[in-house]
Amino acid sequence: MGFKVAVIYYSLRGRLVTLAHVIAEGACNIPGAEVNLYRVQDPIRGDNEEHYDEGVLDAPVITLQVVREADAIIIGAPGRQGGMCGEMRLFLDGWAQFQLEGRTSGKAGINGGLKGKVGSAFTSVGGLGRGFGGHEAILQSFHATFLQHGMVVIGTPPSMLMEDALMATPFGIVMAGKETATSVPSLSEAEVKLAYGMGEWTAQIAKLLHDTDLNH
């Protein structure tokens, strides 16, 4: 039986788009996974192409309905001054309405529209004007949102590959490099394998939960 995986990103310069595609490829490796990429629309810039690097606007805009229907949500955004960027924080704050869903259904064990879904995260840090480091705090802020909704948090499975990947962490996937660079920073071989692995592991857990009736 099929299940849905939504890979969601917010990006201006495109480096997280590359990362999102690798994560999506990993998720696609699990049988039955229906994997799609989405982007968070900038609330100020909209879809004005002059503000974005090539490829950023190719994915459709994420909606709350897509989030509601997904079995796994893998989401990423760049860091700014050690925290999650404001555009993504605004989008996640819109999830508050999910916490009210199901409370009038009368069914025991239901509390919120996202309960039981799987969540994992990725980010990018570095560059003048953006601040340096803070990647684990950013990933944990994603996790905090997941936990507020009763979601199952997934990180990056520990691996010897982490010894060769800059800023590798079990909290999620991190890409380092200047966001304002003229060319999108490439991922190392170890970073690609870790990103692919997190996508695959997230989808595998989502499949297990999807095939299990959590209400009984």
User: Does 151 map to a domain?
Assistant: yes
User: Does 215 map to a domain?
Assistant: no
Nearest to 14 by CA among 62, 53, 51, 49: 53
Sequence-distant (≥ 6) Cβ neighbours of residue 46 within 8 angstroms:
none
Instruction: Report the chain's terminal Cα–Cα distance, integer Å.
Output: 19
Number of structural domains (the chain) is 1
The crossing angle, in degrees rounded to 10, of helices 189-210 and 15-28 is 50
Q: Which residue has the higher pLDDT, 27 or 157?
A: 27
**Domain hosting residue 146, numbered range:** 3-210
At residue 5, the pLDDT reads 98
Q: What is the CATH number of the domain that holds 155?
A: 3.40.50.360
User: Does 75 map to a domain?
Assistant: yes
pLDDT per residue as tens digits for the range 7-65: 999 987 777 898 999 999 999 999 999 999 999 998 888 777 777 778 888 999 999 99
User: Does 216 map to a domain?
Assistant: no
User: Does 173 map to a domain?
Assistant: yes
